[in-house]
Structure formats: C-alpha cells, structure tokens
Amino acid sequence: MVVFLDVLIFENVIVNTFLLHITAQTLMIKVKLKRLFISGAIGGIYVITLVFPQLSFFSGIVFKIIVAVLMVYIAFKNKNVLFNIKATVILTIYSMALAGICLFIDFYMHGNSKYSIWINNIPYEYVMISIMILYMVIYRITVFVKDRRDVFSLVYNVEIGINDKQKFVRAFFDTGNELREPVTNLPVMIVERSSFEDIVMNEKGKYYIQYQVASGKPGILEAFKPTYVKIYNGTQVEMRDMIIALSDNKLSNFNEYTALLPRGCI
C-alpha cells in the first residue's frame, strides 16, 4: 500500500476541523474558525503515529484521549473541567459516528454486496471532505449575514447639534453601555473623534469621564455636552439629553456605525 502522507494529514485536518465545528454547534458556542483549524491540525498530525511503526506506542487509547482533550482545550479555550469532558465525549461520539458511516460506504463500494456506490468515479472520501468544507463555509456565511442583519436592526441615525452646527452619525444601540457622566448623571454616547474633526471644542465645557472595559483596563474619555441630540427611530424623532464622549478607536470593524448609543436612550 502506498500512503501519501501530506494527503493523509490534509484529509484528517479537514475532518477534525469539521468534527470540532459541529461539536461547537452542539454546545451552542461561537468559536473562531482559526482556533478550530489549529486544533484540527494537531489531530491531523497525530495520524502519523498510525503510519510509522516506531511511533505505534503513541497510538494507544490513552494517548488518543489525551490528544482529544488537548484538541478540545485548544479549540474552545475553556478551563472548566466538566465542559472539557462533555466536549470531548461529544467529539468522540461524532468521530465514531463518522467512522461508522465511512465503513458502511466502503463496504458497499468495495465489498461483495450486489449494490455499489459510484459518484462519477470520484473517491467517496473526496466527496465527503468536499461536503464538510462546503458545510462549514455555508454555515459561516449564514452566521455572518445573520449577525450583520442583527447589527443593522440596532443602528440608528443620530443628529448631534453643537451651537449652530449639526453632525449626523450612525449609532449602534449598545445595551451594555451604562456609562454616565458623574456630575450631571447624564448617559454618555461614545462617538469616534474623527466625526468632529472640523469642530473646535470649548475647553471650559469639556468633561473627562473615567471608564473601565470588560478586561478591567481603565481609561479616560474626553467629552462635551451638545446643544441637542435627536435619535431618528423610524418615523419618530426622539430628543435626548446626553454627554458625547470622543473615542480615538474605531467602533466598528466594518464601518457600519461610528457611535454607541447608551442603554435606555431608545
């Protein structure tokens, strides 16, 4: 038998990535495809223990369990022991189910059965791998489109008045934004500084607001109180008193919005 090691490893990487992908779906957690692929690559490289007799010691059941646990940990980055056990069991069940399907197909293709499966003389392994890749791509596209649709449903047109000037921004309604200016107790809308490049701020009217991100890192935002804020909510226009804080960072990777509306303003 001739074994092309690069093809064998590639096939196993795709299969492992697919199994980790459906395991993540079963656990209903979002995982970056990059981590799934890295974890799948580790499992794909492990297949060499079945090819080289010198490494046969590492193909035992204990090492297989260790590799499965390692793959789960790398893919999901969860330190909870029960979670990792649960994910490993699910991954193992899916692996066994897929192996059973492959044995079934192989039996009917090369066995003595009077039935036979032929797909234009293409090896069934390539067909299955193509289906796995297609499934992961379609799923990722579907999730991306759904996320974009959900984002757009929470994006509002906002008019900010500053003395005799007006600025229009697209703002995302961030339910996790509970930032308030401590003196006035007004809610704070965060806007990219680039939106106010042509407006000179009055130094006397500036506020400095302390904030803390989810990671615990603190910071200070420069802010001011506008003349008015109008939020266009469909056919309605809602007036709100709030503080505008300026951010030096981009708020949207896809430029879908340049501001974050605070909780309770809609």
Residue 174 is a catalytic residue: yes
| Sign of the CA dihedral running 200, 206, 210, 213 | negative
Which string of b and e fits 107-146 if b means at least 16 CB within 10 Å?
A: eeeeeeeeeeeeeeeeeeeeebbeebeeebeeeeeeeeee
167-172 CB contacts, 8 Å cutoff, 24+ apart: 167/195, 167/196, 167/199, 169/195, 169/257, 169/258, 169/259, 170/256, 170/257, 170/258, 170/259, 171/231, 171/257, 171/258, 171/259, 171/260, 171/261, 172/251, 172/252, 172/256, 172/257, 172/259, 172/260, 172/261
CA distances to 60, 149, 185, 215, 224 from 218, rounded to whole Å, are: 50, 32, 19, 9, 20
Kindly report the backbone phi and psi dihedral angles of residue 16, in degrees, each rounded to the nearest multiple of 5, phi listed first. -65, -40
From 106, 174, 241, 248, active-site residue: 174
DSSP 199-227: -PPPGGGEEEEEEE-TTS-EEEEEEE--S
d(CA 36, CA 233): 40
Show which residues are catalytic.
174
